[in-house]
Amino acid sequence: MSISVRVNKIEEQLIRSYAEINGRTVSDIVRSAILDKIEDEYDLRAYEKAKKEYLKNPATYSHEEVVRMLGAE
């Protein structure tokens, strides 16, 4: 699949220079940047959900307690 992205001349030069300095293609740089952004947002949402759940029930357990609870001793 191919996706087009419009950038101005300065942005194009910056992206091409960055790719060249890092020995990567422009396509690889753009793909990685987009996927990293998506992953960061997913992680942030997962954190926010976990924090909400924790605030509802702020119980915490040590590693040893979890091992005992799971019967994995």
- In the chain, what are the domain boundaries? 9-70
- Dihedral angle, C-alpha 65, 66, 67, 71, nearest 10 °: 100
Confidence of residue 49 (pLDDT cuts 50, 70, 90): very high
Cβ–Cβ under 8 Å, residues 29 and 15:
yes
pLDDT at 73: 76
pLDDT tens, residue by residue, 58-72: 999 999 999 999 998
What average pLDDT does the segment 36-59 reach?
97
- Does position 32 have pLDDT exceeding 80, yes or no? yes
Q: Is 71 left (phi over 0), alpha (psi -120 to 50) or beta?
A: left
- Does position 47 have pLDDT exceeding 80, yes or no? yes
Spatial distance between the Cα atoms of 28 and 39, rounded to a whole number of angstroms: 16
pLDDT at 72: 85
Residue with tokens 């997962």: 46
